[in-house]
Structure 1
Amino acid sequence: MGVLGRKIAFVSLFILFLTAHSQQRIAKIEFDGNEHVSSWRLRKVLVTPVPTWTMRLFKRLPVADPKSIKKDLENITAVYLDKGYLDVLVKAKPIKYKGKEDIVTLVYRVDEGKKYFVERIDWSCADSIDTVKLAKLIGLSPGDVFSPFKLESGRLNVYRYLADLGYLYAEVEAGYRKVDSLVRIVFSVKPGKVVYFGKITYKGLINTKKFLLKRELSIKSGKKYSYSAIQKSRQELFRTGLFKVISIELSDTLSHPDTVDVVIRVIERKRGFYGASIDFGGNKNYDFTMQISANWGHRNVFGNGQSIMMKGLLQAEVITNWQFISNRYEASIYEPWTLGRKIPTNLVLYFEPGLKTQNFPWRVQRFGAELSAIIHDEPRTHKIGATYERVDIYGVPEDIAMEIKMQQGIYITRKITYTIQADVRDNPLNPSEGSFARVSTELVGGLLGGDEHFAKIDATFARYIRLYHDFILASRIRTGVIGRTLPAAEIAPTNKFAAGGANTIRGFKELSVGPKAADGTMLGGNVIFLLSSEIRFPLIWKFYGTVFLDMGQVWDEWKDINPNDIRVSSGFGVAFMTPFGPIRLERGFILTKLDPDQKGRWHIALLYPY
């Protein structure tokens, strides 16, 4: 019987008691004797629902379920064991609630015992084994609080390290002995013999060629066995998007052969896909619009991993007036390996023939291409892209066409982009540790031609620190600058910087911070600075709270930078966690007195701002 099992063996009598009184309900849950672990922390690991005032009001109190309470005892014991209290004893006792037979207060009584620390770590292994390296893998050092869970995790880390060196049959045992309030740890390591990968067999392939799997694998026949190579191979095969199920198994390991054969089984996804959607909305030119889109694609053309997709969009004005106003056709080709290297490349071609409408009795035709390539160099990702566009206006003289371009802000954009980012967050949707950095650059126009000529750089860095329990400090700094490559070149407002809103400076209207025209129209600026910090913490169930401080500004040019122009806001919010990320409701208060027309506001947004 393990440590955890011995700590809860006594609960059988309590389980029998509750079984005989299975209709008892719990009005309150209390903890007694927990001097070194807060009730809040213990309450988080309970399986039994914690009664709330609403449950009591509507008489929906949770049932005293024996299985749930047994699991509670296991979880509470595990919390203490992880904190070094190896002698902990936990009992559960029901007490009649206000004299009622069928309602109880459930009290978890804790006898914490002594707290144990690591005295030393001894190794029993061959001289060829680098114990200094192994000691760094176990996560425990002399003087640390002892945790049997960390010890087991360390044992697995040692095995995986040896397995990556080819020692598939390594035997790693970890034990400990208590001496007063100290623990002496002993590791016994028997590496065994070096093992090599043998024959690799593929099963389940129907439409996919074998070489496609081979090029994704980190395991090769004749190479040393590696646990990490198997895990990486599985991840890379899933990344192709071609398979629903992937298993990588070793055959005949019981006899401990020098070479192990590998069997890779897959279940392929359907190659073809299609879809359609209808969206309703509006814009500054039309009150009510409807957009119909349809797409068709193939994710494994000729069995080589390339994919293609065709897409068509049609937009119409509806209700107040009925007419077609725009259409667009797209074709994209995706190549996962380029020039024999794993560099995913995507080419998108689009064509907008344009339509004459009652508002605009001319036709604006667009043709363009977008090429992008991604290079993964964990934890860094590089993305290189190029965009080419041509715009022609038909139905009016050439001089009128130029005037229409100016009035409607039609800019022909041709550019080259490069982005590098490093993401070491533990969870991209709800990070609690790690950091995220990204630098993106654009070179627009120049030798490429087009109407705009500028260079742009935008840099962001975010850091996440666990302050206390699940209280997370998240901070972000962002800076960016745009410079013209031709002195008289115009830059479209959509390519300039603007701030304000749920993801930049909360409390301000969306994209309301920055240079404006006399009528209040946002022109955008060429320099941006943002600095934000917030504390995120759990509230109840899937709800999290947030308190934040945002500051920043957008200036027209570098010479216009003035710290006194910086806008500052603060506020609070609530986030509800979903499988797609948090949905935020936040209230921002403007602290600076530079914008008398803005009084702060509420924001609703999906995902954290950083």
Structure 2
Amino acid sequence: MKKPLSLLLSVLLGGAGLTRAQTDAPPEREHPTAPDELPPLQESRPRVNGRLQVEFVGATAFPERRLREGIDRQVREIEKYGLDEPNAYDAGFFLESFYRKNGYADAEVTATITGPWQLRLSVDQGSLVRLGEITVTGNTAYDSETIEKYLLGPTRERFPRIRDVLRLPYVDVDVRAGADLVRRLYASEGYLDAEVSDPDPTFSEDGTVANISLKITEGTQYRFGAIKFEGPLVFPREDLLAAVAEQTKNIFTPGRLLAAERALEDYYRQRGYFTATVRANGDPMEAKDGVVPITIQLQPGIKYFFDGVAVTGNSGVKTAFIQRRLASLSGQTYDPARVDRGFRELIDTGLFRNVRITPTPVNGNQLRLDVAVDEAKPREFGIGVGYATYDGGIVSLSYADRNLFGTGRPLTIDAEINQRGYNGQIKYSDPWFLETDYELEVRAYGITRDMRGFTKNELGFRPSIQKDITDHWNVSAFILAEYNRTTNILITPESLVGRESYPLFAIGMTQTLDYRNNKALPTRGYILTSAVDFAPDGLGSVAYIRGVARFSYYLPITARSSLAIGARGGIISSLTDEPLPIDERFFNGGATTVRSFSEYTLGPRDKNGYPLGGEAFTVFNLEYTFPIIGDLFGAVFTDAGNVISDAANFGLEDMRYAIGAGLRYNLPIGSIRLDYGLNPSPRDGEAQGAWNFAIGVAF
């Protein structure tokens, strides 16, 4: 071991050799300072900006790329401010630290300035030291395997690919950090007096193996004792004990005592006691046989009620709009959860970058909500390009005004052109229809799309009203008025198409029960949707009753893989003797149904092979998704489904299948999917399989 004196002698003799001492930190540098002044920041030094050349000598254990990564921070420092003896010394220190963190406990590095912007780092590597036997004594609460898991936790975190303990490098700082984790483990389970020794390494004769000894004195495990309340209770003692039962049911720790204090404060504040304070005290020194008596001091204060809303920071959004979002709180008992719901409702409008709600006591026991907002830009214009297997290239335009006339109601206009046609819509939403919790949505739309064997032309108007019954259950009702026209008919005979132009009037209902953990990228939970609509005879040219349902279930298999199971079905029945128009029928096949068929091609066809659709359908899906790298995932799947011409024959006859695999690249808006589905039993005129490209979940 070389001493720091060598650095001083080197400087006095004018030499460039620098040798670092074996210390835990670089030597402190002295800065000339005036009285009462702080040392100047390093960034205040003049920059010189050069390119440092580093030569490594004797460093054979690691490739040069890793060595440079180990000193990268100091190299950038030198290139910014210049190469001098202290900076060169620090570079040696960083390289030596790199070696020691990788198991070379006796590594020493000498730094030598060999010329302008030239630095030589000479390494005496020593031997790689690996961990040997771990001996734990004094432990009874935890077995030695558990103690070893915590002791080696930091080491395993830095070397995750090494599973065998006897191949792990010995890094003193990591093992000491592991011993600290053992101390925390005992403290977290009530062993507040537990003593865990510093790890004691014993090295093999050749210095390549470090056997570790750890001595533990567990002491007493403390538990919560009787709880005594001091001060006005307001609520029954039994209710207060129930409020802290989870935190105080067994093992005593200061953290759990603090959690009990907070839980009781929340209990009071949720019931209107806005200024309530709680102080919980428990001293292990007063424990008998490990049982700690607890004293909880209560100062509930007075009970507060909401009264009024004051708004600042708004310019485009009307004050009345913000006040109405919180108006339902007026006169209600103060509850922070209600304030949080109001905050989320305002944020979810998209009208604000930030919202701050501060309850302010006024007029005795009244609380005014002071709302400070920072408005976001209300208007957006967007241009998008995309591709889908069936539609081909897509160009879309959109305009949105989230604050129409300052009312906080959104209006959106969308238009799309693709290789199959074009469509557009205007949509107005009122999430607080007539200042209730019902949402009104009104859509006017037009579609022209080339289908297989005909062109669909549709103009429609669809008002709907919906309500969230719970956080997971939504119901809605709608009215549908459309004019439909079928052109460019290639299906023969044309009578198979049904009515070619007709007005349609229908009413319907939908419901959604959604317990997925993520709507865009679900891996857990389920969704159940159903819809029914009724087109009465006499109000339009087509009369029917239709119902569809979907169920999807998502099951995590590992942390990043999951299994998805789906089932769908639908049936429509004409209420007259006239056959249903082709664009009211069900079709199957494509990226979200049976993926061995191209879009809409599964099911009955005319003599030229054009699909005719049917009055009923079923789809069943099973898909396993697994990680490949980063956000890229693979998937294997099987699908089954059918299309039934006559609703009277609804069932599982004539099922068609798909077996396939695909890739998914996960984005916040959903997965970009590329799938190939193989048709295991193709019939005459059918392909062996189909490629499908889409965005979003398959089912």
Which TM-score band (shorter chain)?
Answer: 0.5 to 0.7
Go from structure 1 to structure 2 and tell me whether the alpha carbon gap of 1:219 and 1:192 turns closer, same or farther (over 3 Å shift).
Answer: farther
Alignment partners' CA distance in 1, 2:100 and 2:228:
52
Go from structure 1 to structure 2 and tell me whether the alpha carbon gap of 1:386 and 1:248 turns closer, same or farther (over 3 Å shift).
Answer: same
Contact residue 349 and residue 370 of structure 1 kept, 8 A: yes
Alignment partners' CA distance in 2, 1:594 and 1:440:
32
Q: CA deviation at 1:229?
A: 1.8
Query: Counterpart of 1:232 in 2: which secondary structure?
Result: helix
Contact residue 171 and residue 190 of structure 1 kept, 8 A: yes
Partner deviation per Cα, 1:558-598 (whole Å, 9 max, x = no partner): 756469979798x99997765445678999999xx888999
Partner deviation per Cα, 1:381-428 (whole Å, 9 max, x = no partner): 2233333221346899xxx99949929998976543422233455555
Which stretch shifts more, 177-186 or 156-165? 177-186
Alignment partners' CA distance in 1, 2:486 and 2:338:
56
Match in the other structure for 1:272: 379
Match in the other structure for 2:405: 302
Which stretch shifts more, 108-117 or 304-313? 108-117
Partner deviation per Cα, 1:428-482 (whole Å, 9 max, x = no partner): 556677x4443321215334535572321314264768x9x95998675645441
Alignment partners' CA distance in 2, 1:44 and 1:583:
40
Q: CA deviation at 1:22?
A: 3.4
Match in the other structure for 1:456: 547
Within the candidate set 484, 488, 504, 2:573 is matched to: 484
Taking the TM superposition and a 5 Å limit, the aligned residue runs for 1:496-535 are: 496=586, 498=588, 515=603, 517=605, 523=613, 526=616, 528=618, 530=620
Contact residue 192 and residue 222 of structure 2 kept, 8 A: no
Q: CA deviation at 1:346?
A: 2.0
Partner deviation per Cα, 1:505-550 (whole Å, 9 max, x = no partner): 8x9667799755596969467253748697x89999778899x997
Q: CA deviation at 1:131?
A: 4.5
Within the candidate set 102, 124, 129, 2:229 is matched to: 124
Query: Counterpart of 1:339 in 2: which secondary structure?
Result: helix
Taking the TM superposition and a 5 Å limit, the aligned residue runs for 1:523-602 are: 523=613, 526=616, 528=618, 530=620, 553-554=641-642, 556=644, 561=651, 579-580=668-669
Match in the other structure for 2:274: 168
Match in the other structure for 2:428: 333
Alignment partners' CA distance in 2, 1:560 and 1:474:
28
Match in the other structure for 2:465: 373
Match in the other structure for 2:479: 386
Within the candidate set 275, 293, 304, 2:396 is matched to: 293
Look up the equivalent residue of 2:277 and give its one-letter code: E
What TM-score do you get using the length of structure 1 for normalisation? 0.67
Query: Counterpart of 2:321 in 1: which secondary structure?
Result: helix
Alignment partners' CA distance in 2, 1:579 and 1:104:
48
Alignment partners' CA distance in 2, 1:566 and 1:394:
30
Contact residue 121 and residue 142 of structure 1 kept, 8 A: no
Query: Counterpart of 2:272 in 1: which secondary structure?
Result: coil
Query: Counterpart of 1:295 in 2: which secondary structure?
Result: strand
Go from structure 1 to structure 2 and tell me whether the alpha carbon gap of 1:580 and 1:394 turns closer, same or farther (over 3 Å shift).
Answer: closer
Partner deviation per Cα, 1:232-281 (whole Å, 9 max, x = no partner): 1111111222111100123479xx96334432100112232212234456
What is the root-mean-square deviation in Å for CA atoms of aligned residues? 6.2
Look up the equivalent residue of 1:191 and give its one-letter code: P
Match in the other structure for 1:17: 24
Q: CA deviation at 1:351?
A: 3.7
Contact residue 441 and residue 456 of structure 1 kept, 8 A: yes
Alignment partners' CA distance in 2, 1:231 and 1:205:
20
Query: Counterpart of 1:193 in 2: which secondary structure?
Result: coil
Look up the equivalent residue of 1:17 and give its one-letter code: D
Alignment partners' CA distance in 2, 1:99 and 1:587:
62
Alignment partners' CA distance in 1, 2:196 and 2:590:
53
Match in the other structure for 2:301: 192
Which stretch shifts more, 440-449 or 474-483? 474-483
Query: Counterpart of 1:443 in 2: which secondary structure?
Result: strand
Contact residue 351 and residue 375 of structure 2 kept, 8 A: yes
Alignment partners' CA distance in 2, 1:279 and 1:540:
24
Go from structure 1 to structure 2 and tell me whether the alpha carbon gap of 1:512 and 1:303 turns closer, same or farther (over 3 Å shift).
Answer: closer
Query: Counterpart of 2:512 in 1: which secondary structure?
Result: strand
Alignment partners' CA distance in 2, 1:376 and 1:537:
34
In structure 1, list runs of 5 or more residues that go unmatched. Answer: 1-14, 55-60, 318-324
Alignment partners' CA distance in 2, 1:283 and 1:328:
15
Match in the other structure for 1:205: 314
Contact residue 224 and residue 252 of structure 2 kept, 8 A: no
Look up the equivalent residue of 2:465 and give its one-letter code: A
Q: CA deviation at 1:153?
A: 4.5
Query: Counterpart of 1:306 in 2: which secondary structure?
Result: coil
Query: Within the alignment, does 1:439 sit opposite 2:529 as a pair?
Result: yes
Alignment partners' CA distance in 2, 1:303 and 1:97:
76
Alignment partners' CA distance in 2, 1:105 and 1:576:
46
Taking the TM superposition and a 5 Å limit, the aligned residue runs for 1:40-51 are: 50-51=158-159
Match in the other structure for 1:10: none
Go from structure 1 to structure 2 and tell me whether the alpha carbon gap of 1:140 and 1:233 turns closer, same or farther (over 3 Å shift).
Answer: same
Contact residue 199 and residue 262 of structure 1 kept, 8 A: yes
Alignment partners' CA distance in 1, 2:403 and 2:510:
28
Go from structure 1 to structure 2 and tell me whether the alpha carbon gap of 1:606 and 1:271 turns closer, same or farther (over 3 Å shift).
Answer: closer
Go from structure 1 to structure 2 and tell me whether the alpha carbon gap of 1:95 and 1:441 turns closer, same or farther (over 3 Å shift).
Answer: farther
Q: CA deviation at 1:168?
A: 1.1
In structure 2, list runs of 5 or more residues that go unmatched. Answer: 1-21, 27-92, 104-129, 137-141, 163-167
Partner deviation per Cα, 1:328-365 (whole Å, 9 max, x = no partner): 4432222232233232222221245x699xx99x9975
Contact residue 114 and residue 181 of structure 1 kept, 8 A: no
Query: Counterpart of 2:345 in 1: which secondary structure?
Result: helix
Taking the TM superposition and a 5 Å limit, the aligned residue runs for 1:384-423 are: 384-392=477-485, 403=494, 406=497, 414-423=505-514
Match in the other structure for 2:444: 349
Query: Counterpart of 1:241 in 2: which secondary structure?
Result: coil
Go from structure 1 to structure 2 and tell me whether the alpha carbon gap of 1:159 and 1:551 turns closer, same or farther (over 3 Å shift).
Answer: farther
Contact residue 374 and residue 382 of structure 1 kept, 8 A: yes
Go from structure 1 to structure 2 and tell me whether the alpha carbon gap of 1:293 and 1:191 turns closer, same or farther (over 3 Å shift).
Answer: same
Contact residue 90 and residue 108 of structure 1 kept, 8 A: no
Contact residue 389 and residue 694 of structure 2 kept, 8 A: no
Which stretch shifts more, 273-282 or 436-445? 273-282
> May I ask how many residue pairs the two structures share in their alignment?
558
Within the candidate set 227, 244, 250, 2:336 is matched to: 227
Q: CA deviation at 1:298?
A: 2.1
Contact residue 498 and residue 582 of structure 2 kept, 8 A: no
What TM-score do you get using the length of structure 2 for normalisation? 0.59
Contact residue 295 and residue 312 of structure 1 kept, 8 A: yes
Contact residue 549 and residue 568 of structure 2 kept, 8 A: yes
Q: CA deviation at 1:299?
A: 1.9
Contact residue 77 and residue 88 of structure 1 kept, 8 A: yes
Contact residue 513 and residue 554 of structure 1 kept, 8 A: no
Match in the other structure for 2:34: none
Match in the other structure for 1:4: none
